[in-house]
Chains A and B, each alone.
Chain A
Amino acid sequence: MKATSTRMLAWAAVTAIASLVAASAVGQQKEIVIGVQCDRTGATQIVGVILCPALQDYVNLINSRGGIEGYKVKAEEIDIEYKVPPAVEAYERHKAEGAVSIMLYGTPQTQALTQKLNEDKIPGTSPGFGTSAAANGARYPYLFPIAASYWSQGAAAIKFVKDQLGGSLEGKKIAYLFYDNPAGHEPLVILQDLQKIEKFELKTFAVPPPGVEMGAQVLDIAQRFRPDFVIAHLFGRSPSVAIKELKRAGYPLTKVIGLVWASAEADVEAAGGWLVADGYHTVQFAGVGDEYPVRKEIVAMYKAQGKQPSKEMQSTVYYNRGLLTAALHIEAIRRAVAANGGRSPTGEEVKKGFESIHDFSLGGLVPPLAISATDHEGGGWVQIFQVKGGKFVKETEWFRAYREVLAKQLGAE
């Protein structure tokens, strides 16, 4: 008995010393911290379980090549369960650990932290959520949407519909099926502006939260309104329900386009598989599929470590979005370090780094962004992919549309 406890004590001492040594070793290494807020367990975990491993994979890839200009990158991940108080706590912790940029996650969390980012001068990114008005860098100096906002997505969807319907929307009918929350309402202003310009008939169909019951709305669309096209702006479980219900009501899915949160493999699978959803169009702000060099490099990195590539890679929509976010953070930090002569960058310098990003395509996965001090959205580029033959097939190159209408709205805000 005595011997055991002595041995345990010895072990404890050894571990304590080992961890101390490890801690001091880390301290000596040059390191840059990025704060990562994640949702692997909350309302949008369907996204988080794919997105967050992707962020880590990209950071590991960069570190395996020696990091950024000699600095190792540490992406400190904290799960926030899609709740606001944990997001505030996570932010404060990242700040205390000296994070130079924050990957925010979720619209309410982004709203809640916007003012803090400004006060602490730490840039934060909100790709695909938050308010569209945040594209205005003069008004939101430290918030970077870095991907097409809901306004840009709505405008691009109308442009795509116009092309599909033969180049003119005059007299055509478009149904807007949306999740009845602020994010769902957001593209409406743009759609209404465009309705006046393109002279089409717009009818809105709200789906109340939690969005799994929309039989009435879909019947209304398919049998009464009979639109020429449906634009669906849904979240969570509801996109799959919409696909299923529209299919059941006999409405052709080739005349349905889903905005960015209604557009992943998970939605197609939940709707009943690729055969059911065949023909469905999706708006994407990051490239979809496996044909990008960066994904091959990540597979090679796993192989070099003697491991299988993570299974999350198969879900390419969210995975590639994670790569896009991580890559833009790393690029912004790289530019910041390059600009300040190799010092460890401050949040302010990383903000300038973000604002100088251009010609950074990551082999086509990232759109031709040009982020500037005034345009934090980077142009609002999207691609359209269609569900066809068991996978997403690219239909368009990167494009954007009706920028003057958006500019007017941004000015009005």
Chain B
Amino acid sequence: MLHRECGVFKTSYAADMAIYPLPLARWTVVGLVALFLALPLSLSEYYLSILNLILIAVVGALGLNLLVGYTGQISVGHGALMSVGAYTAANLITRLHAPFWLAVPAGGVMAAAIGALIGVPSLRIKGLYLAIATLAGQLIIEWTINHVPWISGGVQASIDVPRPSVLGMQLKTQTQLYFFLLFFAALATVGIMNLARSRIGRAFIAIRDQDVAAEIIGINIFRYKLLSFAVASFYAGVTGVLYTYYLGVANYEQFQINVSIDYLAMIIIGGLGSVLGSIFGAIFVTMLPIATRWTLESLGGLIFAPSELANIIPNLRLVIFGALIIIFLALEPEGLYRLWRNVLGYFRVWPFSY
């Protein structure tokens, strides 16, 4: 977690499994909740909108990390599964006027069903081969949405969706949407944390580490691999629905293959197989382009003329983005989460390191 800890010696399984290993952990959680609830009071609408994008990305990254990081099954079809969720919800909302508490899980469930189907090849193939199989899934879903007007609705395969209503109030401002998205992001985080600690999570990890061994100790590979695909796809579907609600439109071009790649980048940079890593990755990939632009805008004017700057910023930003990813990964191949652990480890004994 985020706090400093030391002298923790666990002597029972119960202590090892506890969600709060220290009393301090409880206070950290309380502090975090208070921080997130208080944030909208101090942030302007613009910063909140960035935070909202991050919250949506967190949900998607958590799901993909469960599949790739915990279960060791690679997938490049995450973006398409988001579109499954988005279009399921959009159709339910526009045709049946479904409320958000129905549309969000429905989008997730539909994506889970289709995701499990895409995951079937994982029973026979692994690694790069599986990546190609899921790529096919991505393309088939894209094609279907593009060519079946019954799903993709009106003009240009996009469906306008009204903003969600909570207790009769329609959420419009960034602050209101922030709380809406925060609720789902928190739910998703707690969900994955608990899933990873449970019997199911342990089975996922066993499959990742050595699937033959996992089968021998009695884990039903068929069931757990598909379950992992289903849960990850559920998260993807929910991400798609959240996007749809946030933007007010389900659009097929928002969920193309580059989105799948972006999410893979998030979890690889953040750290495979860790909840905090997914969150770090989502923040990093969303914020880095924005932050580099802020920096370049404020400092670039000292060196370049404004007309040149307009051209330099976007290009240099991509270069810096790429370079930073390489630097971070070279510095710590296991991602930002590991970097964070190293920093914590250093401060655990600070200032009396030996």
Contact = CB atoms under 8 A, between A and B. Distances in A.
A114 B46 contact: no
Interface stretch (B120-128, B307-315, B332-340): B307-315
A52 B307 CA distance: 10
Contacts of A331: none
A356 interface: no
Given A115-B248, A180-B146, A186-B156, A107 B253 contact: yes
Contacts of B290: 86, 89
A88 B310 contact: no
Contacts of A186: 155-156
Interface residues of A, number: 43
A132 B155 contact: yes
A198 interface: no
Interface in B287-322: 289-290, 293, 302, 307, 310-311, 313-315, 317-318
Contact of B46 (A81, A95, A111): A95
Tell me which of A60, A116, A182 has the highest count of chain B C-beta atoms within 10 A of its own C-beta: A182
A119 interface: yes
B248 A53 contact: no
Contacts of B146: 180-182, 185
Tell me which of B146, B158, B253, B293 has the highest count of chain A C-beta atoms within 10 A of its own C-beta: B253
Nearest to A92: B49
B92 interface: no
Contact of B307 (A56, A78, A84): A56
A84 B318 CA distance: 16
Interface string B226-267: 000000000000000000001111011110001000000000
Contacts, number: 111
Contacts of A119: 172
Contacts of B50: 89, 92
B131 interface: no
B258 A115 contact: no
Contact of A111 (B163, B249, B258): B249
A142 to B, nearest CB: 13
Contact of A88 (B53, B157, B311, B314): B53
B155 A413 contact: yes
B156 A182 contact: yes
Given A79-B313, A85-B286, A115 B307 contact: no
B237 to A, nearest CB: 18
A182 B247 contact: no
Contacts of A40: 311, 314-315
Contact of A115 (B152, B160, B289, B310): B160
A79 B314 contact: yes
Contacts of A107: 156, 253
B198 interface: no
B46 A84 contact: no
B293 A78 contact: yes
Given A89-B53, A108-B253, A96 B157 contact: no
B45 interface: yes
Given A114-B160, A131-B158, A53 B311 contact: yes
Interface in A348-390: none
Interface string A84-108: 1110110011011000000000011
B27 to A, nearest CB: 33
B258 A83 contact: yes
Interface in B133-191: 146, 152, 154-158, 160, 163, 172, 174
A183 interface: yes
Contacts of B254: 84, 108, 112
B79 to A, nearest CB: 11
Contacts of A108: 251, 253-254
Contacts of B220: none
Contacts of B252: 181-182
Contacts of A15: 302
A112 B315 contact: no
B44 interface: yes
Contacts of B258: 83
A60 B57 CA distance: 38
Nearest to A181: B146
Interface in A111-143: 111-116, 119, 131-133
Tell me which of A78, A112, A132 has the highest count of chain B C-beta atoms within 10 A of its own C-beta: A112
Nearest to A206: B147
A81 B156 CA distance: 21
Contacts of A85: 53, 57, 286
A370 B285 CA distance: 44
22 contacts: A40-B311, A40-B315, A78-B293, A79-B313, A85-B57, A88-B49, A92-B45, A92-B49, A93-B46, A95-B45, A96-B44, A107-B156, A107-B253, A111-B158, A111-B251, A112-B249, A113-B247, A115-B160, A115-B163, A133-B154, A182-B152, A183-B156
Interface of A: 15, 38, 40-41, 49, 52-53, 56, 60, 77-79, 81, 83-86, 88-89, 92-93, 95-96, 107-108, 111-116, 119, 131-133, 180-183, 185-186, 310, 413
Given A40-B314, A60-B307, A96-B46, 5 more contacts: A41-B318, A79-B317, A112-B251, A132-B155, A185-B156
